[in-house]
Amino acid sequence: MFQKAMSTFSERVDSLIQSGKTDLTKAENGISLCIKTLSKLQKQVDQKDFDNIQSEIEFFRNIKPLPMSYLIYFTEVRSCELMLPKAGKSHKIRFLEKEIKKINKFFSANNSFVNYMEQNHNYLDYEFFSRKGRRDFSFSPTINYYQNPEFSTSHDMLWSKVQALCRYIHYIREKLELIQPGSSGDFRERQPNLLVWSGTKTSLVEIIYALYFKGDSNHGTVDLKTIVAAFEDFFNIEIDNFYKTYGEMKSRKDPRTKYLHTIAAKLEAKMNEENHT
């Protein structure tokens, strides 16, 4: 019953992020959009509630955290934009370094929960994501993000903040890169360089958009920028202007998804070859 509200939210937040507005304006407009969406979701829950405990867990684990995480993200961005020193490159970099330290401290403090979610475990979902589970709220925001005991579980807010800060760290990196090109790499978490994308970035964007529109990640609730960020980290690559690349893909002559057609044909050919050996 939440599909329409979530679909509308995803379209509007993507449109807002793609817009040429300033980061501060995006954040303020985004906060308004998130609050309206959360209000709509809460009214639906108040009116119909859930058919069973599994649908309740699904809502608080995979549906509500999308607008909630964006609300936290846009709130952090707004705060950063207002507090970032107006002059002095070194002052700006120092401020952003402190933001990164705060993010790292948060993830360190919540390491076990983050690992639980990243491993896609579910054995504690009843405790974490149902209103009859734990009532010792693990995350008490210093500002009122939108917490209501009848519309919250012990960990849905914490899960929202985890997702929000994953987005926020990329925002900080982009800020650092604008202030001092090359500096953002100093703060990227060190990962084994096992996989490096050696194809074109356009080909990778085809894969990303296909996964996004198919909706098989996080039950279709994950946003486009999060998928892009995951591919950037996985392949040790920076994907610039993916919205523009998608626009160029749409203007191609058929087949517009050339890379997807190519890899599908390669797979089919290989399986046919093995069937005849």
Give me the percent of the chain exceeding a pLDDT of 90: 30
> What average pLDDT does range 69-82 have in this prediction?
94
What is the pLDDT, as a whole number, of residue 192?
44
Q: Where residue 143 falls among pLDDT bands split at 50, 70, 90? A: very low
Q: What does the alpha-carbon distance between residue 260 and residue 262 come to, in Å, rounded to a whole number?
A: 5
What is the pLDDT, as a whole number, of residue 193?
47
Query: What string of H, E and C letters represents the secondary structure of 105-141?
Result: HHHHHCHHHHHHHHCCCCCCHHHHHCCCCCCCCCCCC
In the predicted structure, residue 187 carries a pLDDT above the cut 90: no
What is the pLDDT, as a whole number, of residue 135?
60
Q: What does the alpha-carbon distance between residue 223 and residue 13 come to, in Å, rounded to a whole number?
A: 9
What is the pLDDT, as a whole number, of residue 71?
94
With beta carbons less than 8 A apart as the criterion, state whether 144 and 68 touch.
no
Q: Which residues contact 171 (CB under 8 A, 6 or more apart)?
A: 23, 73, 77, 80
What is the pLDDT, as a whole number, of residue 213?
87
CA separation, residue 11 to residues 4, 61, 162, 255, 256 (Å): 11, 21, 22, 25, 22
pTM for this prediction: 0.71
Q: What token pair was written down for 63?
A: 């549906």
What is the pLDDT, as a whole number, of residue 191?
44
